[in-house]
């Protein structure tokens, strides 16, 4: 039994059902799970570890619902800097074909560390190509030293150029190989228990890279094993055109007809959806990973986040892959969500209310937890895991915001998390990771990136 007491926070943001924000607040946790949250004077006075959070904002750990860690090796690649999605992919596929177990491992460590430094305590990664013998196992190995919760995917691509898909033959796999390895990975790694550090989702890449048969069989396998389903959907106008021409269906109808609507499904992006598609998703409980930076970076479009939330579609936040962001900063992504949520209602673009800072924070925390199907994270309240991060309000970036530091966390310049705890265990303390040598990691990662680009 180990106990943790956090006390005297300038403000502790709970994100509980009442959205309580507690001045002078704190929490008491035992064996990684929160037992009490409240004013510091109401909490036990002793614990194995005591954290004095005076002058700090304490927030629930952020939850990332969409990423491609391997793309940290191909950020800002010249030929892909200004291209829309399909051309961007055509430029990058041949580079990604050179990935191997070592580069997948180092990219996973780097991306998760970068996320952790921004306050992220749970991250999903959508890896859908496995060249040169790379496997989910390499990602599991790469994730372990970072210490945040990892939702990996056994992603896939099976529809190459010769069959009318977008990717070259070198990065797709056969249907049976994919299904067999997906089953192996779920059996080897998926842990559904409360407080789980590692889960697996079944994640074919997108309508233009995967056969209908693989979409169908992936859904059957996921439901047989009780894991979640994820794919890219309705990201761009080009994709909408592709599904209309090839399948004579809109993207959500295409997904629904293959068994891809349900409370165990979430889509990345979901930008180009009609109102009736939003209703279908809401009725099914299908969630969305909103990726505002990527949608702007690739000039894709603006996802109808306000309409999703009004219809009670679960919405989480994703930084998306680092070749279309090109950062893994989830707090910065919350800021982007807020800003894009305002541009979305500007004259000539749309109508409605501008997104408040607290809504962006909610999407980044409890929204993401809901999208990943986790009731044990996403808020600081009794019964959930002690996953949280702190921001230092004495920094120049926050000066002048003492009247509302919670809004300032999103509205002001994005600053790194000062401390990060996962399950009551320290991951980052005073800006330093507990065990990773950041300089050596960056050196290894740069070496892998150079080898990849040739
Ligand atoms: Zn993506």
| Token pair recorded at residue 29 | 């946790």
CA of residue 20 to ligand 1 center, whole Å: 33
Alpha carbon distance 402, 409 (integer Å) = 11
CA of residue 299 to ligand 1 center, whole Å: 14
Q: Can you give the pLDDT at residue 195? A: 98
Residue 265 backbone zone (phi > 0: left; psi -120 to 50: alpha; other: beta): beta
CA of residue 66 to ligand 1 center, whole Å: 6
Residue 85, Cβ density class (10 Å: 0-12 exposed, 13-18 middle, ≥19 buried): buried
pLDDT > 90? residue 454: no
CA of residue 266 to ligand 1 center, whole Å: 12
Contact call for residues 9 and 58 (beta carbons, < 8 A): yes
pLDDT digits (tens, 9 = 90+) for 266-314: 999 999 999 999 999 999 999 999 999 999 999 999 999 999 999 999 9
* Dihedral pair phi/psi, residue 100, rounded to 5°: -145, 180
| Token pair recorded at residue 178 | 């994919």
Q: Can you give the pLDDT at residue 281? A: 98
pLDDT digits (tens, 9 = 90+) for 136-158: 999 999 999 999 999 999 999 99
Q: Can you give the pLDDT at residue 314? A: 98
Element (DSSP H or E) covering residue 407: helix 405-411
CA of residue 46 to ligand 1 center, whole Å: 45
CA of residue 344 to ligand 1 center, whole Å: 21
CA of residue 448 to ligand 1 center, whole Å: 21
Reduce the DSSP state of residue 178 to 3 states and report it. Answer: helix
CA of residue 75 to ligand 1 center, whole Å: 14
CA of residue 382 to ligand 1 center, whole Å: 34
pLDDT digits (tens, 9 = 90+) for 399-451: 999 999 999 999 999 999 999 999 999 999 999 999 999 999 999 999 999 99
pLDDT > 90? residue 248: yes
pLDDT digits (tens, 9 = 90+) for 384-393: 999 999 999 9
Q: Can you give the pLDDT at residue 1? A: 78
CA of residue 111 to ligand 1 center, whole Å: 14
CA of residue 206 to ligand 1 center, whole Å: 9
CA of residue 364 to ligand 1 center, whole Å: 17
Q: Can you give the pLDDT at residue 388? A: 99
Neighbours of 32 (CB within 10 A): 18
Mean of the per-residue pLDDT values of the chain? 97
Helices (H), 248-401: 251-257, 275-284, 292-297, 305-310, 330-343, 357-362, 368-371
> Who wins on pLDDT, 208 or 187?
187
Does 429 sit behind a cis peptide bond, omega within 30 degrees of 0 on the bond before it? no
Give the pLDDT mean for 82-87. Answer: 90
Alpha carbon distance 50, 95 (integer Å) = 48
Give the pLDDT mean for 182-194. Answer: 98
CA of residue 322 to ligand 1 center, whole Å: 9
Alpha carbon distance 379, 362 (integer Å) = 9
Measured CA distances, 210 to 66, 406, 430 (Å): 18, 43, 44
CA of residue 50 to ligand 1 center, whole Å: 40
% pLDDT > 70, the chain: 100
CA of residue 52 to ligand 1 center, whole Å: 39
- Residue 285 CB partners (closer than 8 Å, separation 6+): 262, 263, 314
User: Which DSSP letter does residue 354 get?
Assistant: P
- Residue 415 CB partners (closer than 8 Å, separation 6+): 331, 391, 392, 395, 397, 398
Neighbours of 274 (CB within 10 A): 14
Contact call for residues 434 and 426 (beta carbons, < 8 A): yes
CA of residue 321 to ligand 1 center, whole Å: 6
pLDDT digits (tens, 9 = 90+) for 4-33: 999 999 999 999 999 999 999 999 999 999
Residue 363 banded pLDDT, cuts 50, 70, 90: very high
Give the pLDDT mean for 65-77. Answer: 97
Alpha carbon distance 30, 212 (integer Å) = 47
CA of residue 401 to ligand 1 center, whole Å: 35
What letters, b where the CB count within 10 A reaches 16 and e where it falls short, cover 104-114? bbbbbbbbbbb
Q: Can you give the pLDDT at residue 207? A: 84
pLDDT digits (tens, 9 = 90+) for 301-358: 999 999 999 999 999 999 999 999 999 999 999 999 999 999 999 999 999 999 999 9
Contact call for residues 259 and 220 (beta carbons, < 8 A): yes
Q: Can you give the pLDDT at residue 364? A: 98
Q: Can you give the pLDDT at residue 354? A: 97
Give the pLDDT mean for 61-84. Answer: 95
Q: Can you give the pLDDT at residue 208? A: 87
- pTM here is 0.98
CA of residue 296 to ligand 1 center, whole Å: 13
Residue 56, Cβ density class (10 Å: 0-12 exposed, 13-18 middle, ≥19 buried): buried
CA of residue 366 to ligand 1 center, whole Å: 21
Contact call for residues 97 and 171 (beta carbons, < 8 A): yes
Residue 367 banded pLDDT, cuts 50, 70, 90: very high
List residues bridging with 121 in a β-sheet.
none
pLDDT digits (tens, 9 = 90+) for 196-222: 999 999 999 998 899 999 999 999 999
CA of residue 214 to ligand 1 center, whole Å: 19
| Cα 209 to the center of its chain, rounded Å | 21
| Cα 406 to the center of its chain, rounded Å | 22
| Token pair recorded at residue 146 | 């970072």
CA of residue 88 to ligand 1 center, whole Å: 12
CA of residue 130 to ligand 1 center, whole Å: 16
Q: Can you give the pLDDT at residue 362? A: 98
CA of residue 268 to ligand 1 center, whole Å: 6
What letters, b where the CB count within 10 A reaches 16 and e where it falls short, cover 283-307? ebbbbbbbbbbbbbbbebbbbbbbb
Q: Report which of 66, 103, 24 is spatially closest to residue 448, judged by C-alpha positions.
A: 103
Residue 162 banded pLDDT, cuts 50, 70, 90: very high
List residues bridging with 433 in a β-sheet.
428
Residue matched to tokens 């021409």 = 245
Contact call for residues 19 and 11 (beta carbons, < 8 A): no
């Amino acid at each position: 039994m180990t106990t943790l007491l956090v006390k005297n926070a300038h403000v502790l943001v709970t994100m509980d059902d009442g959205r309580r924000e507690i001045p002078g607040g704190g929490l008491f946790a035992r064996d990684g799970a929160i037992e009490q949250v409240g004013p510091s004077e109401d909490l036990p006075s002793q614990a194995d570890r005591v954290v004095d959070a005076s002058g700090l904002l304490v927030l629930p750990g952020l939850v990332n619902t969409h990423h491609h860690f391997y793309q940290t090796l191909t950020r800002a690649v010249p030929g892909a800097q200004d291209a829309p999605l399909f051309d961007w992919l055509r430029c990058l596929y041949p580079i990604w074909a050179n990935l191997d177990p070592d580069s997948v491992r180092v990219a996973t460590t780097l991306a998760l560390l970068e996320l952790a430094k921004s306050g992220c305590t749970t991250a999903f990664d959508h890896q859908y190509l496995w060249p040169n013998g790379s496997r989910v196992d390499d990602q599991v190995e790469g994730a372990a030293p970072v210490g945040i919760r990892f939702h990996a995917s056994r992603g896939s691509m099976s529809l190459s150029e010769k069959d009318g898909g977008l990717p070259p033959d070198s990065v797709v796999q056969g249907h049976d190989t994919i299904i067999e390895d997906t089953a192996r990975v779920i059996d080897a790694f998926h842990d559904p228990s409360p407080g789980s550090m590692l889960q697996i989702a079944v994640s074919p890449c997108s309508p233009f890279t995967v056969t209908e048969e693989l979409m169908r069989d992936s859904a059957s396998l996921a439901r047989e094993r009780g894991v979640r389903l994820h794919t890219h959907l309705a990201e761009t106008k080009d994709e909408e055109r592709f599904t209309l021409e090839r399948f004579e269906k809109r993207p959500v109808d295409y997904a629904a007809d293959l068994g891809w609507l349900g409370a165990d499904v979430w889509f990345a992006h979901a930008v180009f959806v009609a109102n009736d598609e939003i209703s279908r998703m809401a009725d099914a409980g299908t969630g969305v990973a909103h990726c505002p930076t990527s949608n702007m970076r690739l000039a894709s479009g603006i996802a109808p986040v306000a309409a999703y939330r009004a219809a009670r579609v679960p919405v989480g936040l994703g930084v998306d892959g680092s070749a279309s962001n090109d950062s893994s900063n989830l707090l910065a992504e919350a800021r982007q969500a807020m800003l894009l949520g305002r541009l979305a209602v500007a004259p000539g673009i749309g109508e409605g209310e501008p997104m408040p800072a607290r809504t962006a924070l909610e999407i980044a925390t409890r929204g993401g937890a809901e999208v990943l199907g986790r009731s044990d994270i996403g808020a600081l309240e009794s019964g959930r895991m002690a996953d949280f991060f702190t921001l230092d309000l004495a920094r120049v970036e926050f000066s002048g915001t003492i009247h509302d530091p919670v809004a300032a966390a999103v509205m002001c310049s994005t600053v790194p998390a000062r401390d990060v705890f996962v399950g009551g265990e320290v991951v980052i303390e005073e800006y330093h990771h507990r065990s990773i040598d950041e300089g050596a990691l960056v050196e290894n990662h740069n070496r892998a990136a150079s080898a990849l680009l040739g």
